[in-house]
Structure 1
Amino acid sequence: MSIPVINAQAVTIPVRYEDSWQDGFGARGWKLDVPGRGADVIAATPYCGDRIPTSVFVHDVVDHLLCGFSLSGYVDEAAALIQLALRTHSDPVPDFQQMVDEDLIPGLGQHDDWVELLPASLNASPEGSVESRDSRLLLKGLRESLGDGALRALLTAGFVREGWKRTYDARDHWEGLGLRYPDRGATALALQELFEWMDATVREQQWMHATGQFLIHREHVTFRFSRPEEAGHQSVNVTSGR
């Protein structure tokens, strides 16, 4: 996934706000207005939770887009969650196991790339490539032959393995955008502060819709509303890390 670079010092990421998204979820909040967002991406608010000081929306910006990973698919989510763990020192395993327990083992996965999480010996099949096989039949066979416990362990390990394999790709993508990879933590915290301001603004003004752009520089981040025009912008400085 590519993000347009405005100049040598800034990257732009467009976003959209709806008071109620007509996407089957009906949630209030923000979405990144980028190609490949995926229908399964739910609108986000600045809520952080207990373990991590930044929201899911900031995770999508910092650990997905700026690292070059798409917002959909299990392999890219594995890579993004490893990036989240590296910048926050959080444990990604509970999130991996939640996807295994709620999506994959019950056969509710929305993407077939989960097969890449399997060891090569289980992924191999005389029927041909993954694309030529029914992943649901493969899953059924694995559950019958291995049992859910062993399959859960193998898929969880696959998330860690495939996520870690892409750490150098993430660094290369950050540096290719003209940003400093070691600054990910500071950038994420600045984006969280800015995101809280954005969300407070739309609620205070009672706007039903809004659009705008993040401008991510090496030293600071900025957000500018493009609709409504009277909203203005706000900047937050980012520690360079040097």
Structure 2
Amino acid sequence: MIQYLIGIIDKSFKKEPLTMSLGNNSLKDVQQYPTKFLQILSEGVCLPVTYKQSWDDGFGARGWKLDVTIGDPQIIASTRETGQKINTSVFVHDILDHFLSGFGISGHRSEAMALIQLSKRTHSDPRPDYEQMVKEDIINGMVNGEPLTTFLPRQLKELLPSDIEMTNREIISFLEQKIGESTLYEALVDHFFTLGKAGEEHALNSWKAVGLDSEKQTEIGLALQNILEVIDLKVEEMEIEELKGFIRIDNKQVSFAVQEPNGLFEGYQAAVSS
């Protein structure tokens, strides 16, 4: 099975990459992803991933990255570790809730939409994450992926003076004085919910476009996490410095294969529960 997968990948990844259709920077057309980052197969998809014992990206973390995220300064490598309350890793979140859902990997608007997908997949509450992003980032005038003025909801932008240029921090201070800190805080948290839910149809269409059943989000996520548990422990125990591989996902199983089999690290697969 692994050799068959590698054969498919070797052929298909030699095609000329397509031009990515950006539109809104947070919304991506999954069918227009360059083929070097996503191959849509007759059943499911195949994604190239890279593991490093230590990434030379300013963070130095051990872990995995989707190849499409390599070079993005906002992305830190992630391992099999999950949240205390949610049985899914950041790496699985990046794959399923961001990339395959047609959202940007980084950026606050993208994260708002991806967290709704995470909540549907794991039955988690996105509010704590929304609140954290408001407290740590937005209130401090920091927005990733777009200007603060385009990120803010219409009712807040309408309060800003049109004849005065302000820095992001000055904009936040102005709004705090205008409507109060607590009111601004709640308005921003509510805005994250609005942004997140606005991406639901796009995510459904994205999964459908690549042949994945959105009603199996939970089961596919668990299978992918199971694969990650195995391969991440393996590379850690073997003290592998770098490994390049492919993750294949369809509605029946998830599998991992190395790009250059060396006999030391085998492929793995996990069934998707029906």
Q: Provide the TM-score with structure 1 as the length reference.
A: 0.89
**1:197-208 map, 5 Å:** 197-208=230-241
- Aligned twin of 1:158: 191
Aligned residues with identical type, % of pairs: 38
In structure 1, distance between residues paired with 2:232 and 2:70: 24
In structure 2, distance between residues paired with 1:134 and 1:12: 43
- Aligned twin of 1:63: 97
- Aligned twin of 1:109: 143
**1:67-106 map, 5 Å:** 67-106=101-140
- Aligned twin of 1:143: 176
User: SS at 2:137's partner residue?
Assistant: helix
- Aligned twin of 2:212: 179
In structure 1, distance between residues paired with 2:222 and 2:147: 31
Deviations 1:38-90 (A, max 9, x none): 21111101111221111111111111111101111111100100111112111
Q: 248, 253, 259: which is aligned to 1:226?
A: 259
In structure 1, distance between residues paired with 2:148 and 2:216: 31
8 A Cα contact 2:51 2:243, kept in partner: yes
User: SS at 1:69's partner residue?
Assistant: coil
8 A Cα contact 1:37 1:70, kept in partner: no
Which residues of structure 1 form unaligned runs of 5+? none
User: SS at 1:112's partner residue?
Assistant: coil
Deviations 1:3-57 (A, max 9, x none): 5334220211111111111111111111111158721111101111221111111
Partner letter of residue 32 of structure 1? Answer: L
1:52 equivalent in alignment to 2:86: yes
In structure 1, distance between residues paired with 2:95 and 2:205: 16
1:43 equivalent in alignment to 2:77: yes
Deviations 1:82-124 (A, max 9, x none): 1111121111000000011011112343343554553312224
User: SS at 1:53's partner residue?
Assistant: coil
In structure 1, distance between residues paired with 2:174 and 2:131: 20
In structure 1, distance between residues paired with 2:217 and 2:182: 36
**Distance verdict in 2 for CA 1:197–1:54, change over 3 Å:** same
User: SS at 2:68's partner residue?
Assistant: coil
In structure 1, distance between residues paired with 2:184 and 2:204: 31
Question: What is the CA-CA distance between 1:148 and the residue it aligns to?
Answer: 2.2
8 A Cα contact 2:140 2:172, kept in partner: no
Of Structure 1 and Structure 2, the greater strand share is in: 1
30-39 vs 50-59, greater mean Cα deviation: 30-39
8 A Cα contact 2:40 2:210, kept in partner: no
In structure 2, distance between residues paired with 1:212 and 1:178: 21
In structure 2, distance between residues paired with 1:9 and 1:228: 23
Which residues of structure 2 form unaligned runs of 5+? 1-27
Q: 67, 70, 76: which is aligned to 1:33?
A: 67
1:170 equivalent in alignment to 2:195: no
- Aligned twin of 2:226: 193
What is the aligned length? 237
**Distance verdict in 2 for CA 1:102–1:122, change over 3 Å:** same
User: SS at 2:100's partner residue?
Assistant: helix
Q: CA RMSD in A?
A: 2.2
